[in-house]
Amino acid sequence: MKSKIAMLSVLLLVTLQTSAQVKNYPPANVSFDDFKGLVAKVETHRANRLVDLDTFLTMSKRPGVIILDTRSAFRYERIHVEGAKHLSFTDFTQDNLRNVIPSVDTTVLIYCNNNFAGNQTHFASKIAFPQPRDSVSVQFAAQEKPIMMALNIPTYINLYGYGYRNVYELDELVNVNDPRITFEGSTVNDKP
């Protein structure tokens, strides 16, 4: 019994010492309020910068214009709009953006998976479908609208936040077989 008490005392002492060594870190560099404020500013700005495919393609031919693909490197390497530059959304920093987009005044065209139909292998749509939790919910889930989770919106918001105001977004669901658009990448000649 004495050995159990001694063992518990040692365990308690080690626990107390370990607790004393735990650091209290400052809050993370995350601000939902900053993000909400940015979204409010971007909403009106973005509404005037949604373009159809013909406008997107015409703009892409102008000198200095950049088509930016922010999907994963894996997806980009497999297939992307011809001439697009790549920077994964997860790698957005001021320096990384500056390396791809020379000036905040540069015209930037963006697109994502949700802009292309006809190839769910390489342009899988980002859509969240309602998830019923019980048998009663199943009936209602079929009537709920899915949530579009396109990468375009966070890309636009973040570019704006980093100071890029000359951004335009493809606003159509384009069939990958549309002869007006050309793709490049390792799978371009593969069948979907």
48: domain CATH number is 3.40.250.10
CB 99 within 8 A of CB 146: no
Identify whether 75 is part of a domain: yes
Q: How far apart are CA 98 and CA 86, in angstroms?
A: 12
Give the three-state DSSP class for 102. Answer: coil
Identify whether 115 is part of a domain: yes
Structural domain count, the chain: 1
Query: Which pLDDT score is estimated for 147?
Result: 79
Q: How far apart are CA 162 and CA 15, in angstroms?
A: 45
Q: What is the mean pLDDT of residues 9-17?
A: 64
Identify whether 132 is part of a domain: yes
What does R_g of the chain's alpha carbons equal in angstroms?
A: 24
Identify whether 4 is part of a domain: no
Query: Which pLDDT score is estimated for 127?
Result: 75
Identify whether 71 is part of a domain: yes
Identify whether 11 is part of a domain: no
Domain that holds residue 84: 29-184
Q: How far apart are CA 140 and CA 146, in angstroms?
A: 12
CB 109 within 8 A of CB 66: yes
pLDDT tens digits, one per residue of 85-137: 999 999 999 999 999 999 999 999 999 999 999 998 889 888 777 777 766 66
CB 192 within 8 A of CB 116: no
Q: What is the pTM of this model?
A: 0.80
pLDDT tens digits, one per residue of 23-40: 899 999 999 999 999 999
pLDDT tens digits, one per residue of 156-181: 999 999 999 999 999 999 999 999 99
**Summary mean pLDDT of the chain:** 88
Closest CA to 185 of 66, 67, 61, 75: 75
Q: What is the mean pLDDT of residues 11-21?
A: 62
Query: Which pLDDT score is estimated for 48?
Result: 95
Identify whether 127 is part of a domain: yes
Identify whether 64 is part of a domain: yes
Query: Which pLDDT score is estimated for 40?
Result: 94
Q: How far apart are CA 63 and CA 15, in angstroms?
A: 65
Closest CA to 104 of 160, 157, 48: 160
